[in-house]
Structure 1
Amino acid sequence: MKALSIGSFDSFWKAALLTGGVAAWCLPAWNVIVNPYQIFKTEYSIGSRYTSSTTNERYLKVEYLLRDAKERSPDSAEAIVSTINRELSGERTVTKSPQRDAFIVGSSIMGLVDPELLNKRFPGRTFYNLAFLAAKPEEILATLKALKRKGVPIKTVVYGLEPIAFTDIKSYGPAYRLHPEAGGETKQRVIFDYLFASSLSEGLGRLINEARGMHSVRYAIDGNGRYFLDRYDQEIARDQAAFINKQFPVNAKPANAPPWIKSRFDDFEALVKWLDDEKVDARFYLNPLHPYVMKAYGEDRLEAFRTKIAELTRQKHISDCTHLLATDQHANQRFYDYKHFRDVESETVINCALSETNDFI
């Protein structure tokens, strides 16, 4: 009886250890194969690249720009091997596309802007859309510093601002983690954390979308950096009236916007100073707002925001595009939702942003 008890106890712990070991490796396997944050390589993962709604722009855009800068360096191993191979084969030197030296920054509102619109306005510059979902000034500064430190040229920056970024108190998960170079962590630590990140809901959402063949969003990380709201565009093309009724309920009453976060303005001031110290041609403007958002903040608070931004940027001219897309009864046709204007409005917005006459100072 005693021997049986010991044997049973021993078998129980062996089974428990085996079960625990399998369970411990289920999560890393899930994160690599389902890849909801798109951190891991495509050869190990399912589905289309950069089509997860939880794609980590902060990490992937910086990783792409750093890799591009490294490959362009004449001293890099990749460049040396490529030159040797061309010489041995007698091939001519291949002219690469211009290096990105100018950046669109800001929140997801800016993420929809096509960099080509800026390339036309700034001859000799090549823009990349470096905007992040829910980006804060502190994150933008840390990212630009990291890129500069690693040899990425930063000559021009266009930053569209809105009050939401200075009042948002929401906490964000792994999809919003900065690149190690910007966040001050080791790459090994970040990758390890992503292996064991809690991602059940994010992963299930990705699997469902892949099964349906439908993507709500698509990122051009390895291209110009912008993103596309494919599902919204498809719904608009199918039935614009139904889309508007779904996105903008009739007689929706806006709640009062939360108070200003003083530290955000301090971080923004630090960003402005760094850009000035680095001799970067920085352009700031105020993004268009939906009437619903303007009512939530109120004209007095919006005016205070304009004044504060003008004070911190110390620019002689800042374009105020706040009311640009809300001047008639068709405002709902010009926005995807209460925050994001449609990408077809981007050229109108950029024309306003870079106008020499549309100022409030």
Structure 2
Amino acid sequence: MKNRKAAADAAYAKPLYRGYVLTVLIILYAFNFIDRQLLVILQELIKEDLGLSDTQLGLLSGFTFALFYVVCGIPIARWADRGSRRNIISLAIVIWSAMTAVSGLAQNFVHILLARIGVGVGEAGASPPAHSMISDIFKPEQRATALSLYSMGLYVGILGGFMLGGWVGQYYGWRMAFMVVGLPGVLLAVLVMLTVKEPSRGWSENIAVSDEPPPPFQEVLNLLWSRKAFRHLAFACGLQAMASYSLASWLPSFFLRSTDITIGELGTWLGLAAGIGGGLGTLCGGLLSDRMGQKDPRWYLWIPAIGLLAALPITLYILAFADLMLALMLNFASIFLGSMYLGPVIATTHSMVGVRMRALASAMLFFVLNLVGLGMG
């Protein structure tokens, strides 16, 4: 055990290896969202084939998925605070990838609902362990940037989900799209197991952490609830996520039903807007917060707030568009500004708790973010 820890510490002392591990985690988060986003761009095809209602589509992409995602995220996070985060991530990838592929075999609403529940359970095992690992290998003054880079995977995944789903769905059908995206995830799980080392907890801050179990769940929950900043932060994230998830789920059907654009063209436009606009916005949010936050830590919250306020009038115009191409182009700016919050918020949350509480702290933040944002949105 000590030899493995020493080898891992020596590896993470090299900036190149830290960058490699972060890159692998970004890729897995992209796969996480490719699998999740497929349903959104394919929902019109699925609705027609399986005879679903809009309410059933909303349950598949919203509340039902969110419920299992957030509920399972908490015990998985507790496991990550005491066990091997690398192994948990690898297992999670296998589960959500397999269930994504199985989604393509669904013959009715119940079949696809059960498959999406399986995807939600698997995807719950990605971010809390990954957030904890990133905070252990990057110093506090680099943490918002590193977490923002990881969070870029979200928007890369949306890009891949929209473009792959749109074009594969248009030419080969929605079932083939789920198969094409789901099966390669197993190879990613093998890559994580073979090349990513489990970092020592507190490594980036030179904190000696004992092998004792993490604090009890209730103690961590009480600590988070006692932090007024965390309560406000989590609720603000939930409101922002509710707006962004609502639009992400609704805009494809809105444009397809209101214009003559094809599903492949729309998937490309929405995918590029999310991938490029969202990715750059997430990165800028982290970089600006780390740079400005060294002068005043309140910038970790001011940067996201400024971005969200600036996005509001642009988003309102998109919803009342008169010119389709202008609306699709303005979607880049809306997503760019609206995505600046995630890295700084996670970094701020981790600064409020101990090193053996970080995975659970992320899970609690995502519990509010996804239950309010994804579920209600």
In the superposition, the TM-score normalised over structure 1's length comes to: 0.27
Structure with bigger strand share is: 1
Structure of larger gyration radius: 1
In the superposition, the TM-score normalised over structure 2's length comes to: 0.26
